[in-house]
Amino acid sequence: MKSQAAVLWGLSQKWSVEEIEVLPPGPREVLVEWKAAGLCHSEEHFVTGDMVLPDDMRQQAGQASPFPLLGGHEGAGVVAEIGVGVTDVAPGDLVAASFMPSCGRCRFCATGRQYLCKQGAALMQRGQMTDGVVRHFCRGEPLNLYSKCGTFTRHSVLAEQSIIKVDAALPPAAVALVSCGVATGWGAAVHRAGTVAGDVVVVVGCGGVGMNAVQGAAMAGARVVVAVDPVEMKRQAATQFGATHTCASMSEAIELVREMTWGEMAERVIMVPGVMYGELMAEAMTLTAKGGTCVVAGVAPMLQGEASINLMSLAMMNKEVKGTIFGSGNPRFDVPNLLAMYSAGKLKIDELVTRTYGLEDINTGYDDMREGRNLRGVILFD
């Protein structure tokens, strides 16, 4: 079938909206008609090259180019067709994309760590997760699907383990945002940082992920939540999501937290800047209390190999640094659970959406993200 899609052809290029060809789903695959797709910062890292290996290193590793790339990994859509062997969904079901697959059989899934599913190793390789065969083409060239989802199109084919059935009455925009940004930020504060009642929490970066870390920390009972972001609009919005204090910089936050805690600093620090540079860790660790936890959720340039951490302080003050993907949550539980909290009025999602766009306006949406005009932008297909 033919469909319209946003394709990235190389570094530093604009998204090109054009016709693609989508082949029918194979065994254990599903054709989804997307209704909404989130404009996540993650795709921007392919535009800038932060998540792209240099050509010489890529060729040495025997990897194909990631381009042309069909973007999009946050999505909500309706199942249009199923392949042989699909049992979890049926045509007409509303589903959320799951950029982290969950096979249910590997050692990570079997021990409750779906966010580390072994199939995640194939997310950026060309071809379908099920059999390695390409089912999406543009200008006759095979397309690579971002995280094996490809939601920047009206139709794409995904493996059954990359979608999660949700309540059909839910609004697509909310479902799309929970599939990555909401779950990652909320989980970073709740699952990975382990925020408990009475904590002082600092969240650095109040974009689509960070704002949900603010929300998660507040919901977990933190007595103080400091939101740090240079954009005034985001600082103001953070107070609606549970921030008790806001700062424009980490240095400002250090002075504030030092004063309010009598020098003890924050039990939890969550790092979600637009790009996670290693030098930011020096101030992050200053913000972290003795025995405290610093969680790094932001994406760093792929080849960055150094971070500014005082190892004496790390050891002698018993601090810890943790990474997280998908907020260290389990997609098949967390996505429906977060949406249930949203339906109950406990979790703010609608308030995250600053603007919606048609697919043809995707570049405007990313311009708005870069300029700090949006908390979240969402593509709506209907």
Query: Which of 3, 16, 41, 45 does the annotation list as catalytic?
Result: 45
Query: Which of 73, 136, 155, 245 does the annotation list as catalytic?
Result: 73
**Distance separating alpha carbons of residues 211 and 242, to the nearest angstrom:** 9
Query: Which of 109, 138, 149, 180 does the annotation list as catalytic?
Result: 180
The reported pLDDT for the residue numbered 4 is: 97
Q: Active site includes 40?
A: yes
CATH number of 185-324: 3.40.50.720
Query: Which of 3, 41, 42, 308 does the annotation list as catalytic?
Result: 42
The reported pLDDT for the residue numbered 173 is: 98
Query: Which of 40, 138, 247, 294 does the annotation list as catalytic?
Result: 40
The reported pLDDT for the residue numbered 54 is: 87
Which portions of the chain are predicted below pLDDT 70? none
So where are the chain's domains?
2-165+349-380, 185-324
Q: Active site includes 45?
A: yes
**Distance separating alpha carbons of residues 120 and 11, to the nearest angstrom:** 23
**Distance separating alpha carbons of residues 21 and 46, to the nearest angstrom:** 23
The reported pLDDT for the residue numbered 280 is: 97
The reported pLDDT for the residue numbered 382 is: 81
Q: Active site includes 294?
A: no
Q: Active site includes 191?
A: no
Question: What CATH class has 2-165+349-380?
Answer: alpha beta
pLDDT tens profile 334-369: 999 999 999 999 999 999 999 999 999 999 999 999
Alpha helices by DSSP H, the chain: 41-48, 55-60, 107-110, 172-177, 183-187, 210-219, 232-238, 250-260, 280-287, 311-316, 331-343, 362-370
Q: Active site includes 73?
A: yes
